[in-house]
Amino acid sequence: MNVVGIGSKAFSGCTSLTSITIPESVTSIGIYAFSGCSSLTSITIGSGVTSIGDDAFSGCTSLTSVTIPNSVTSIGIYAFYGCTSLTSVTIPNSVTRIGNYAFYYCTSLTSITIPESVTSIGNYAFRNCTSLTSITLPESVTSIGDEAFSGCSGLTSVTIGSGVTSIGGSAFYGCTSLTSVTIPNSVTSIGNYAFYYCTSLTSITIPEGVTYIGDYAFYGCSSLTSITIGSGVTSIQYSAFSGCSGLTDVYCYAENVPSTSSYAFDNSPISSATLHVPAGSVNAYKARGPWQYFGSIVAIE
């Protein structure tokens, strides 16, 4: 008789189990199926599996690699949570969504390839993956969940595909090694704390598609020297650029002065920085706080 499913908690807590082969007859791996199998180093998932349940492999601290077959369409929440020895994962182009917390605290994960089939990355999906150095999000991805990459302290570069419309709150919170990020014009909002304490970020260009910059979005980005704000921005929230202690130039292309919290540039040296704005808007910026507190306000050439 062929096994067609591995039930919930089927092997949960089997701490001496070192390897497992899931046959092609199996179509689903239930929640907590192998959770806490701390000696499990090898998994072979058969090509019949279509879904990996919530917490299926959470706490498998000895697992070093896993290949997910093309049959899988969904990876559940906490699926590989706390797999601290996991160094690589192959996600096939059949997967459409990476669930909340799916790879949370996979501290040895150095690289991940996200295929064109994925449309959304769940909240906390890669949180505290401290060995992850770069990430490329394909054009198929439309949303980045809250804290999706927060605490990824080894992350140096991020490329966001042109399908993304929103960057969730705290999405890259505390990515202290991040030096560059490309935000596409498709993005309309940058969530609260999105790039909070990205202390290695030196410059940022916010494209014209963005209308809203959330609270503390770039707070504490102490290496940020230059900010370019696109013409579409209408709202800049509380402390969005506070604590940007290296700031020297801000280029704001919005002809109408954005609605801006008076604390948007708090503890940033704007009194010695230069604000560059459209020629016809210089006087309007000079009359509005906190913009009026820049050391000089000049027309964009």
Most confidently modeled range among 2-11, 66-75, 78-87: 78-87
Distance CA 127, CA 97 (A): 16
Residue 50 pLDDT exceeds 50 = yes
Q: What integer is the mean pLDDT of 19-47?
A: 93
Q: pLDDT by residue (tens digit) across 226-235? A: 999 999 999 9
Contact 142, 119 (CB under 8 A): yes
Residue type at 41 in one-letter notation = T
Confidence of residue 35 (pLDDT cuts 50, 70, 90): very high
pLDDT at 230: 97
| Nearest by Cα to 68 from 79, 58, 82, 77 | 79
C-alpha distances in Å from residue 297, one per residue of 36, 180, 228, 249: 59, 27, 14, 10
Residue 13: per-residue pLDDT = 93
Q: Among candidates 195, 161, 162, 163, which has minimal Cα distance to 179?
A: 195
* Average pLDDT across the chain, whole number: 94
Q: Where residue 2 falls among pLDDT bands split at 50, 70, 90?
A: low
Q: What is the pLDDT of residue 69?
A: 93
Closest CA to 113 of 142, 83, 143, 93: 93
d(CA 22, CA 6): 9
- Reported as a pLDDT band with limits 50, 70 and 90, residue 4 is low
pLDDT digits (tens, 9 = 90+) for 176-220: 999 989 899 999 999 999 999 999 999 999 999 999 999 999 999
